[in-house]
Amino acid sequence: MKTILVTGGAGFIGSHLCDYLLAEGHKVICMDNLSTGFKFHIKHLLNKKRFRFIKHDVVKPFSIKGNIDQIYHLASRASPVDYQKFPVETALSNSIGTNNLAKLALKKNATLLFTSTSESYGEPKEHPQKETYWGNVNPIGIRSCYDESKRFGEALLMAYHRSKKADIKIVRIFNTYGPRLRPSDGRVISNFITQALSNKPITIYGDGKQTRSFCYVGDLVAGLVTMMNSRFIGPKNLGNPDELTILELAKKVLQFTGSKSKLIFQKLPLDDPTKRQPDISKARDLLLWEPKVKLDEGLKLTIDWFRMLPMIK
């Protein structure tokens, strides 16, 4: 049994990770400032002996008593709408927050896994994106609070690793979806499903020809744990290479919800990448990990979950 700290543990991916680690028999300390996370996601865990919740912002100093074996740092706003509303907080959770966790990892002799992002490739000139691609990022653009701070987080941890032998892992997470996505987070899958279920127009930004590749949250969590327990530092891409256009996604959501919503076309947000698809050869060959859940299956599970939410009905 390991003691594992999950920052952002009440968030979308973090709460699924807490579930997974507890089911594996570990002790889990979940830290979250509840800015975009919800206590609702972890309420079934609060009375468990091996689970502890600490409401805290990773940017502010903190100490934790006792031993910690592993740290997963997921605390950061991740939806473009969210992080553009709180750009400073986002930039700091990936920089100062990562620094606080690197210091904690050194002190506790723990392994620290940092969740970086496909956004570190920016508007990619290489497709699909391999880990060796350095990216094409606008350093002062409206997404830079997120993509540049994730890139800085990677750089900072490599510096800790090289100069202080910190035990670190870096993964780059591509678009992820599933139950516990926040309905109002502004991301494409949450928007399309909430719009379809309430028969409101589906908002396509731009012409809808831009592509994304969506990974089901259960697959992603398995990838995080596999990476943490591997001998690799990374970075490793984690995502599902099954790529489709946003227009194709909208049609699937309409089909699976049986909605009568119309498609409407709105302005494409600034610096919105035109394409994104992970090359996961490294994860496949070295971690022996690959996603299993097909988009159709995962979308249906996600739609079922959204249907249960009282706020949408």
177 is catalytic: no
CB of 117 to ligand UDP, least distance (A): 8
Nearest in space to 12 (alpha carbons), one of 187, 220, 239, 180? 180
Exposure string over 110-148, b if 16+ CB within 10 A, otherwise e: bbbbbbbbbbbbbbbeeebbebebebebeeeeebbbbbb
CB of 191 to ligand UDP, least distance (A): 4
C-beta atoms surrounding 41 within 10 Å? 22
Choices 40-48, 88-96, 187-195, 299-307 (CB under 6 A): range interacting with ligand UDP: 187-195
Nearest in space to 170 (alpha carbons), one of 244, 238, 110? 238
Is 240 a residue that touches ligand UDP (CB under 6 A)?
A: no
CA angle centred on 259, ends 254 and 261, rounded to 5°: 85
Helix (H, G, I), strand (E, B) or coil at 305: helix
CB of 33 to ligand UDP, least distance (A): 21
Rounded CA separation 228/222 (Å): 10
Choices 8-16, 18-26, 84-92, 184-192 (CB under 6 A): range interacting with ligand UDP: 184-192
Q: Which helix (H) or strand (E) holds 220?
A: helix 217-228
> Are the C-beta atoms of residues 227 and 239 closer than 8 Å to each other?
no
**What tokens appear for 297 in the block?**
């299956």
Number of residues that bind ligand UDP (CB under 6 A): 14
The long-range contacts involving 40-44, CB below 8 angstroms and separated by at least 24 positions, are: 41/10, 41/11, 41/12, 41/15, 41/180, 42/9, 42/10, 42/15, 42/18
- The smaller minimum CB distance to ligand UDP, of residues 168 and 188, is found at 188
> In the set 98, 149, 191, 261, which binds ligand UDP (CB under 6 A)?
191
Nearest in space to 122 (alpha carbons), one of 270, 17, 8, 226? 270
Is 187 a residue that touches ligand UDP (CB under 6 A)?
A: yes
Q: What residues are paired with 135 via a beta bridge?
A: none
* Choice among 72, 121, 146, 177 that is catalytic: 146
Tell me, residue by residue from 247 to 276, as one string, x for binding to ligand UDP by CB under 6 A and - for no binding: ---------------------xx--x----
Choices 68-76, 101-109, 154-162, 205-213 (CB under 6 A): range interacting with ligand UDP: 205-213
Rounded CA separation 201/192 (Å): 9
Tell me, residue by residue from 150 to 169, as one string, x for binding to ligand UDP by CB under 6 A and - for no binding: --------------------
- The smaller minimum CB distance to ligand UDP, of residues 233 and 244, is found at 244
Is 203 a residue that touches ligand UDP (CB under 6 A)?
A: yes
**What tokens appear for 304 in the block?**
């079922």
Choices 161-169, 203-211, 286-294, 297-305 (CB under 6 A): range interacting with ligand UDP: 203-211
Tell me, residue by residue from 272 to 301, as one string, x for binding to ligand UDP by CB under 6 A and - for no binding: x-----------------------------
CB of 1 to ligand UDP, least distance (A): 36
Positions marked catalytic:
146
Q: What residues line the site for ligand UDP (CB under 6 A)?
A: 80, 175, 187-188, 191, 203-205, 210, 212, 246, 268-269, 272
